[in-house]
Structure formats: C-alpha cells, structure tokens
C-alpha cells in the first residue's frame, strides 16, 4: 500500500517535471499558440452567441407569450378554466367560444365591412399622401419650409388635442355655407364614416403626417433625371407623377399601404370620436363583446367572459396576421428602404 503511494508520488513528481517541460515546449510553440488563440476566440464567440440566442428567445417570448396565452385560453372549456392544473394546453378543448364570439360579432359581415373600410381609406391615403409628399419633394414654392414644418407639427401634435373641435366641426358640418344654403342648417354627419373619409381625403387622416413625411423623403432620394427624361419625352406633370414617379416609389407605397391599412383596421380613436357604427369597425365592436355575451347568454363569471373575449380577439387578429405574414418581407425592408431614416 505504502509502496504504491510512493510510486505514485514519484510518478507524480516525474510527471510534474514532464509537464513543466511540456509547458515550456508549448509556450515556445507558435503553432500551438495560434491554435489556442483560435480555440479561445471560438469559445468566446460561442458564449456570446449563446447569450444572444437566449436574449432573443427571451424577448421573443415576452412578445409572443400573451398572444399564445390568448390563443390557448380561447380553446378552454369551463372545466379547464376552473381546473388549476391546466396551464396553456386545454384538456378538453372546445370551439364553443369561437362560435359564440363569431355569432355576437357577426363576424363575416363585420370583418368584411371593416376590411373594405380600411382598404378604401388606405387607397385614399396612399394617393393623397404620395401626391403631397411629391409636391413637397420636387417643387419650389413660397412658404415651402413653413408648410413643411406644419406637416411635422401634424406628426407631433397628438390628435386628442383637436378632438373636440373636430367633433364640433362634424356635428355641424358645413362647407363655406353651401350646405346651410341648400338645407337651411348645417348637417350632422357624425355616426357615419364620412368624417373619416373627408379627413383622409384632405390629407389629415390617421397618421397622414407621417406618411407624407415618408413619401417626401423617398421622392427626394429619387434621381431628378427620371423626371427630366419624362418631361423631354412629352409627359405632362400629372402623367409624370402618376405613371413614373409613383411606380418608382413602389417600396414606400407598399410600406405606407400596409401601415395605413393595419393601423386603420386597429384604430378605435376616430371610431369612438365620430361615433361610427360598430358594424364597420371590428376592433371597436370586440370591445363590447364581453358585455353583449354576458347579457345575452347570462354568463356572470368574469373569467368565463374573458374566454369569449379571447376568442373574439383571435378572430380580430386573424386578418391582420395573415396580411402581415404574407407581406412581412415588404414590411420591414420597406421601412428600411423607404427613408423614414432621413
């Protein structure tokens, strides 16, 4: 026993010396030094990559978590809801929430209405904002800088500052006294979507200032030669803008179109302010879904009411998510290329 330990210690001593020799050999060996450097940098890269991966996964989870939560709980049946052991994955999935939510939302009608509403507004907005942006980008006229400052003011000033006057304006709507002349009194066009259409057509719709800004930046970036060539070839001002510049500005047109449509679809501010019917704006209608279902179906447990709301929310989200997934590529690259960044 003792012998063996001695032998081991001897061996150890021996090996230590050998190790030292090896160490000095390694130290002088440039080949190995290079390898070591590469390994350590690879390892560092791996660790940093892992940290980045974890961070991105974590942040993505924070964003996706509630969406997944809503989707999963929209399938919960009553027993799942009351069972504390059920988390995320329902044991007894049901589609009843969806059928009820779709019924009370009048889903197909409302969703098609609100899609038509937002697509119409989007078309008007793209057309008007690109026109204004083009005007600012390519023409020189007196007070141009001041007027462009007004566009920036439009972006900066929150819409709620002017909500009361807007309400008043459309409650007693009149254009230069013409309507009073015909009908005898200004008319009330609230509770119809007309105010939103008018405002959008006059370049003051939802975030129009931002879109004008985007278009202006983009048109300024396009080479002037295109226009000159068109002009030399005999194209008129209007033709140049509509058939040549607008076609060239496709990336920003797509960006603005998608933004405009999605934000219009989601917007409840104008809908609430102008008392537009819920049947036209699904994201407004879904807010009253809980109350409707609980009254009509006599469901008094708020946690069950919430399940119906979740199903309704999923139904509202579906069209936007489809649009988003289909056009995702344009969305982000469009923002990058369309010159939000001056």
Partner 1 sequence: MKKKKRKMTLTKKRAITGYLFIMPWLIGFLWFYARSLFMTVQFTLNVLEVRPGGGYTLTFAGLDNFLYAFRAHASFKQVLTTSVANMLIDVPLITFFSLFMALLLNKKFHGRTLVRAIFFLPVILNSEAITDAMDLARNMMSGGLSNAAAELAETAGSGGVSVEYYIQMFGSLGLPMGVIEYIMGAVARISEIINASGVQIIIFIAALQSIPGSMYEVAKIEGATGYETFWKVTFPMVMPHIITNVVYTVVDSFADSEVVDLAYDTAFTYNNYGLSSVMSLVSTVVTCLILVIVCRFIQKRAFYYN
Q: Which of residues 276-305 bind partner 1 (CB under 8 A)?
A: 283-284, 286-287
Residue 324 lies near partner 1 (rule: CB under 8 A): yes
| Sign of the dihedral through C-alpha 271, 274, 275, 279 | negative
Residue 321 lies near partner 1 (rule: CB under 8 A): yes
Closer CB to partner 1, residue 25 or residue 68? 68
* DSSP-assigned letter for residue 173: B
Closer CB to partner 1, residue 181 or residue 341? 341
Closer CB to partner 1, residue 212 or residue 253? 212
CB 75 within 8 A of CB 309: no
Closer CB to partner 1, residue 139 or residue 300? 139
- Residues from 250 through 269 that contact partner 1 (CB under 8 A): 262-263, 265-268
- Residues from 39 through 78 that contact partner 1 (CB under 8 A): 52, 55-56, 59-60, 62-67, 69-70, 73
- Per CB under 8 A, the list member of 132, 189, 246, 304 interacting with partner 1 is 132
Which spans in the chain are helix H? 2-28, 30-73, 78-82, 96-105, 107-138, 144-156, 163-171, 178-183, 194-201, 208-221, 224-232, 237-239, 246-248, 250-266, 269-273, 282-285, 289-297, 302-337
- State the minimum distance, in angstroms, from the CB of residue 327 to partner 1: 11
The two three-digit tokens of residue 70, written as one number: 């809503």
CB atoms within 10 A of CB 99: 12
- State the minimum distance, in angstroms, from the CB of residue 109 to partner 1: 18
Residue 79 lies near partner 1 (rule: CB under 8 A): no
- Over the window 81 to 120, marking each residue x when it contacts partner 1 by CB under 8 A and - when it does not, the resulting string is ---x--x---------------------------------
CB 69 within 8 A of CB 88: yes
The two three-digit tokens of residue 193, written as one number: 């979507």
- State the minimum distance, in angstroms, from the CB of residue 103 to partner 1: 18
- Rounded CA-CA distance 15/17 in Å is 5
Q: Which residues share a beta bridge with 187?
A: 173
CB 167 within 8 A of CB 273: yes
- Per CB under 8 A, the list member of 161, 184, 298, 300 interacting with partner 1 is 161
- State the minimum distance, in angstroms, from the CB of residue 149 to partner 1: 11
- State the minimum distance, in angstroms, from the CB of residue 6 to partner 1: 49
Question: By CB under 8 A, which span of 3-11, 30-38, 94-102, 137-145 interacts with partner 1?
Answer: 137-145
**3-state class of 187 per DSSP?**
strand
- Per CB under 8 A, the list member of 119, 123, 171, 222 interacting with partner 1 is 171
- State the minimum distance, in angstroms, from the CB of residue 235 to partner 1: 13
- State the minimum distance, in angstroms, from the CB of residue 167 to partner 1: 8
∠ CA(55), CA(57), CA(61), 5° rounding? 115
- Residues from 185 through 244 that contact partner 1 (CB under 8 A): 185-186, 188, 199, 201-204, 208, 212, 237, 241
Q: What residue has token string 């589609």?
A: 95
CB 285 within 8 A of CB 112: no
């Amino acid at each position: 026993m003792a012998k063996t330990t001695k032998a081991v210690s001897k061996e150890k001593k021996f090996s230590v010396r050998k190790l030292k020799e090896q160490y000095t050999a390694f130290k002088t060996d440039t080949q190995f030094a290079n390898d070591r450097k590469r390994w350590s940098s690879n390892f560092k890269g791996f660790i940093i990559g892992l940290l980045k991966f974890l961070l991105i996964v974590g942040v993505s989870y924070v964003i996706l978590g509630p969406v997944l939560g809503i989707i999963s709980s929209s399938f919960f049946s009553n027993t799942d809801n009351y069972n504390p052991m059920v988390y995320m994955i329902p044991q007894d999935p049901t589609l009843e929430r969806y059928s009820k939510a779709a019924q009370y939302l009048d889903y197909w009608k409302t969703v098609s209405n609100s899609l038509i509403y937002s697509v119409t507004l989007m078309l008007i907005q793209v057309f008007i904002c690109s026109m204004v942006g083009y005007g600012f980008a390519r023409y020189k006229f007196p007070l141009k800088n001041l007027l462009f400052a007004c566009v920036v003011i439009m972006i900066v000033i929150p819409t709620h500052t002017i909500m009361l006057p807007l309400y008043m304006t459309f409650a007693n709507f009149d254009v230069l006294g013409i309507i009073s002349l015909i009908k005898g009194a200004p008319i009330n066009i609230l509770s119809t979507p007309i105010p939103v259409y008018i405002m959008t057509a006059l370049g003051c719709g939802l975030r129009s200032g931002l879109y004008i800004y985007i278009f202006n930046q983009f048109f300024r970036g396009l080479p002037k030669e295109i226009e000159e060539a068109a002009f030399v070839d005999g194209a008129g001002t209007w033709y140049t803008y509509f058939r040549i510049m607008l076609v060239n500005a496709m990336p920003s047109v797509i960006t603005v179109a998608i933004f405009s449509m999605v934000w219009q679809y989601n917007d409840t501010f104008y809908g609430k302010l102008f008392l537009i019917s819920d049947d036209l704006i699904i994201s407004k209608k879904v807010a009253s879904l809980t109350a409707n279902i609980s009254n009509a179906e006599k469901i008094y447990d708020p946690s069950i009411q919430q399940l119906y709301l979740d199903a309704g929310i999923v139904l509202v989200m579906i069209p936007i998510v489809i649009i988003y997934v289909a056009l995702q590529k344009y969305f982000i690259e469009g923002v990058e290329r369309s010159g939000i960044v001056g």
